[in-house]
Amino acid sequence: MGKKDYDKILFRLLSILTKLSNSELPTTKELASEFGVGIRTIQNDIKRLEYSFPIERTADKKLKFVDGYSLKRTTLNSDEMMILNLALSQFDDVADIDRIKSRIFKKLLNSNFTNPYFIKQDDIEDIEIESPLIEFLEKKIQDREIVRLKFQNNEKEVEPYKIANFDGFWYLFAKDLEDGKIKTFDMEKIKDIYPSGKYYKITHKQIHMLLNRVHSSFFQDGVSFVIRVKVYSEIAQYFKRKDFLESQKIEEELEDGSLIVSFEVSHDEDVDNIIKSWLPHIEVIEPKRYREKIYKELHKYIQKIYDEN
């Protein structure tokens, strides 16, 4: 890496950290425009920073430090903090400036750099938000215009509500006007989008309320049922501290410390991974259909392992 490239990357990294420290909430698109580079370059910058700093994304794709985090809690020394707070160009004549820059750069890029915080980031699929297709779709969502989606073998006329991310993959959350149901459409499979000149009336606030009921890409409009589980005492504390789904409700705390917990879902997949990740310390109570499904899947898995050995 040449010195000029080195300085450009370092300047971007420090500038991004300063913005996050000042709670400016930039987007990758805004950063790419400000620094005159591509979206992918900024995405790579953010990945470098995530090695040592707890960065997260808001629902509308803005970048921020995790709540409660401050650059004062890093192990940067006073010289390094000075450079973070002021423009690098003002320090060309400072003694040992290159050595100080090098020290900061190594810490930013070194995954072994000691940080008292650890935030597990989901591996999110890249989305080319500066592409004409995505920009066009963003505009139609903002205008609440009905569009026609072109796929490999068919087309769908939809009311586009949100570009949403579930389990790291991008989907269009939209109402299918053919059957009147709200669904998720895999963004990767959308080949083109056409305007209709027609508009829908549902408000952005109503759409947000709808999304609060969506727990996975398997969402089924108009379908709602309750899954009730027994959470054993060994893991009960985690369900008290965190709602794994927005619809989670602790219905009863038993004498042995176990909990009866319910979830209102629209599809088994909404809660499938939660249940399976806490086995054997969680038990499905109802519905009976789902309890038997989990039993059969576990039996099949155990049988397969037994046969292989």
CA–CA gap between residue 11 and residue 22 (Å, rounded): 16
Q: How far is CA 238 from CA 120, 229, 268, 285, in A?
A: 17, 14, 21, 19
Identify whether the C-beta of residue 230 lies closer than 8 Å to the C-beta of residue 201: no
Architecture per CATH, 132-211: Roll (2.30)
Q: For 146, phi and psi rounded to 5 degrees? A: -70, 140
Q: Is 293 exposed, middle or buried (0-12, 13-18, 19+ CB in 10 A)?
A: middle
CATH of the domain spanning 3-109? 1.10.10.10
Alpha carbon separation from 184 to 124, 215, 220 (Å, rounded): 17, 11, 9
Task: In the chain, list all ranges with CATH 3.30.70.
Answer: 225-308
CATH (residue range 225-308)? 3.30.70
pLDDT of residue 226: 95
Q: Which residue has the tokens 């299918």?
A: 176
Q: CATH 1.10.10.10 residue ranges in the chain?
A: 3-109
At 37 the pLDDT is 87
In this prediction, residue 13 carries a pLDDT of 80
**pLDDT at residue 234, rounded to an integer:** 95
Each residue's pLDDT, cut to its tens digit, for the chain (309 residues) gives 444 444 577 778 878 887 887 788 999 999 988 888 888 888 888 887 776 677 888 888 899 887 766 665 444 444 454 455 444 444 445 555 556 655 555 554 444 444 444 444 455 566 665 678 888 998 898 889 999 999 999 999 999 998 888 877 888 999 999 999 898 999 999 999 999 999 999 887 788 777 777 878 888 787 889 999 999 999 999 999 988 888 899 999 999 999 999 999 988 988 998 999 999 999 999 999 999 999 999 999 888 888 876
- CA 90 to chain centroid: 37
Residues of the chain with CATH 2.30.30.100: 132-211
The reported pLDDT for the residue numbered 288 is: 95
Contact (Cβ atoms closer than 8 angstroms) between residue 186 and residue 169? yes
Task: Give the contacts of 225 (CB within 8 A, at least 6 positions apart).
Answer: 264, 265, 266, 287
Give the C-alpha separation, 168 to 123, whole Å: 6
The per-residue pLDDT for 115 is: 44
Taking a C-beta distance cutoff of 8 angstroms, is the pair 51, 109 a contact? yes
253 secondary structure, DSSP code: E
Where do runs of H (alpha helix) occur along 147-287?
Answer: 204-211, 236-241, 269-277
Q: Which residue has the tokens 């056409």?
A: 194
Question: What are the structure tokens assigned to 23, written together?
Answer: 């709670």
Which pLDDT score is estimated for 125? 64
Taking Cα atoms as reference points, which of 91, 74, 98 lies closest to residue 18? Answer: 74
Burial of 58 (0-12, 13-18, 19+ CB in 10 A): exposed
Q: Is the CA virtual torsion 44, 186, 218, 162 positive or negative?
A: positive
Q: Of 201, 185, 126, 200, which is closest to residue 150 (Cα–Cα)?
A: 185
